[in-house]
Amino acid sequence: MSTLVTGIGELTTQDPELGVLHDAALVVDGERITWVGPAASAPAADARIDVEGRAVVPGFVDSHAHLVFDGDRADEFAARMAGERYDGGGIARTVEATRAAPDGSLRALLAGRVAEMRAQGTTTVEIKSGYGLTVAEEVRALRLAAEVTPETTFLGAHVVPAGTTPDEYVDLVTGEMLAACAPHARWIDVFCEPASPHAFDGEQARAVLEAGRAAGLGLRVHGNQLGPGPGVGLAVELGAASVDHCTYLSGDDVDALADGRTVATLLPGVEFSTRSPYPDARRLLDAGVTVALATDCNPGTCASSSIPFMIALAVREMGLTPAEALWAATAGGAQALRRTDIGVITPGSRADLTVLDAPSHLHLAYRPGVPLARALF
């Protein structure tokens, strides 16, 4: 069945040829867009939706989230606002709460979080494991994640769990755990952060990523979140799809990103929630780096599931224009997931559309905290 969506006051296609259209329409047939153009020349369709002058943008692509968990750590947030520093230590609390949760509770919590995201305009979400840290618990997290998204990421190398040494744990992650998890994952990720006593150094991260690649997984890295380090360089060297955080970058890191194909995914909700300096997005864009924006939604460093909030932070705190921030949260997120069928509105792309209760995308940053965005279908 085809549906004509008409009355689009402003249509941000993210297609370089189509650009931004006014008084636009589009046709959706099944899961795909089949036509985009001026409302006045729209073809007939089986059904019709008039969005009455609202802006339509590609569904947001949240390319970095940790949604399979139980428990909250609001007390840590409050402590940080009173001056405490984040070092990854709180992850162990979420591991404990998550291991104790039955499948049914975790599934319901996950479904609630995905629904919360859709209600704010997100139509694709990447979901990581990483709060299980045993073979059985990591497999469980990935199976649950795979019920709601194809973009599943094995993050066994989130932190070293209690009762094991880093070397023993890297052996487990790259051996038995990887073998059990790889069938349920598209990606592998590692928290590469020598500045954290809980996370992994460059050599350990390299071992994890090389093993994941040999098992057929695409690569992603948590890098340079808490301090300068080898994460960004390693991600580019190994051809990772994305390196995420990028809060502390050297000139060499920026040059490597500019010369490579790895997307820099910025997560400003983390800097907000950990009271850290924001990454220098302007420097990255000016150097020609592809930048994505995502939430990192997780119980520790960013409990917000809102891409509009990330767009507002990117504009207000990181020097992006509203159009650049929207691009990073749509087409940029798609590139971070190496997808060409999402993040754009063009004939052939998926019909993942977000409608704004506003005449223009500018309102995403202009009216922060106002629930303007929702997934259309």
What single-letter DSSP state applies at residue 177? I
CB 54 within 8 A of CB 9: yes
The CA distance from 114 to 212, in Å, is: 27
Amino acid identity at 294: A
The item of ligand NIG, Fe ion, none sharing an interface with residue 299, based on CB under 5 to 8 Å by kind, is ligand NIG
The item of Fe ion, ligand NIG, none sharing an interface with residue 90, based on CB under 5 to 8 Å by kind, is ligand NIG
| Contact mark string toward ligand NIG, 214..253, x via CB under 6 A | --------x--x----------------------------
Pick from 187, 341, 194: nearest CA to 265: 187
The item of ligand NIG, Fe ion, none sharing an interface with residue 274, based on CB under 5 to 8 Å by kind, is none
The separation between CA 361 and the C-alpha centre of its own chain, rounded to angstroms, equals: 20
Write out the two tokens for 267: 């997560």
For position 296 contacting Fe ion by CB under 5 A, the verdict is yes
For the chain, how are helix, strand and coil distributed in percent, rounded to 5? 35, 25, 40
Considering only residues 154, 187, 191, 248, which one is a binding residue for ligand NIG as defined by CB under 6 A? 191
Name the helix (H) or strand (E) containing 156: strand 152-157
For position 189 contacting ligand NIG by CB under 6 A, the verdict is no
Write out the two tokens for 54: 């609202």
The CA distance from 243 to 236, in Å, is: 8
The item of Fe ion, ligand NIG, none sharing an interface with residue 191, based on CB under 5 to 8 Å by kind, is ligand NIG
For position 352 contacting Fe ion by CB under 5 A, the verdict is no
For position 189 contacting Fe ion by CB under 5 A, the verdict is no
| Contact mark string toward ligand NIG, 255..294, x via CB under 6 A | ---------------x------------------------
Note the residues at the interface with ligand NIG (CB under 6 A). Answer: 88, 90-91, 94, 191, 222, 225, 270, 296, 298-301
